Structures are given as C-alpha cells and as structure tokens.
Structure 1
Amino acid sequence: MRAYAIHDGLMNEWGLRVLDGVLAMEAERSGADIRRLKPGETVEL
C-alpha cells in the first residue's frame, strides 16, 4: 500500500518536519509506504 500526503502546501519548514515525523510513525504502524510530493511533482496512480 502507498499513501501520499496532500494539503501540506501552506506549512512552513518546521511544520513539514513535524508532519514527516507523524507520517513516519503512521507508516511504521500500518506498514504503508507514505510519501509527500514535492511542489510540482506528479505521480501516476
């Protein structure tokens, strides 16, 4: 399973670090590959 974080464009660098930590914990707990896309990056689903 893979998940992508969305709606994080308004967060500053500190907020993104916190979000990355939360997502890492959730990825470990659920066994999912959770990623954030960089601005302008796309992925084919």
Structure 2
Amino acid sequence: MAGKFERKRFSEINLNDPFFDSLKTDYPALHQALVLCNGSRQKPLMGNGR
C-alpha cells in the first residue's frame, strides 16, 4: 500500500468529499464537530446546513 496515503493537515481535508456523506448522515453531530475542528473555512457540508 505504499504511496496510497498522503499526510495532510486536517484543514486541508475536503469535508465535502463523498467519503464523508454516510458518516454525516449516520452521525448528525459529526458535521458540527468537523466544521468546528476545521475552523469553519468551508461551505456547509450539507445543503440544509446541518
């Protein structure tokens, strides 16, 4: 698995990536936690602002 992973700062992670969709649906509080931890620098993660 060499070369499959890349080290990034949390603030560089695209929280709107489809990878996070099911997590945001299954764990509603996750959206708030991710935005707070990421400094609210991105658009809302879900269209309804949850």
Q: Identify whether the pair has TM-score above 0.5, normalized to the shorter chain.
A: no
The structure having more radius of gyration, on CA atoms, is 2
Structure in which a larger fraction of residues adopt strand: 1
Structure showing greater relative contact order (alpha-carbon pairs closer than 8 Å, 6 or more residues apart): 1
TM-score bracket for this pair, using the shorter chain length: 0.3 to 0.5
> Under a length normalisation based on structure 2, what TM-score does the superposition of the two structures give?
0.32
> Under a length normalisation based on structure 1, what TM-score does the superposition of the two structures give?
0.33
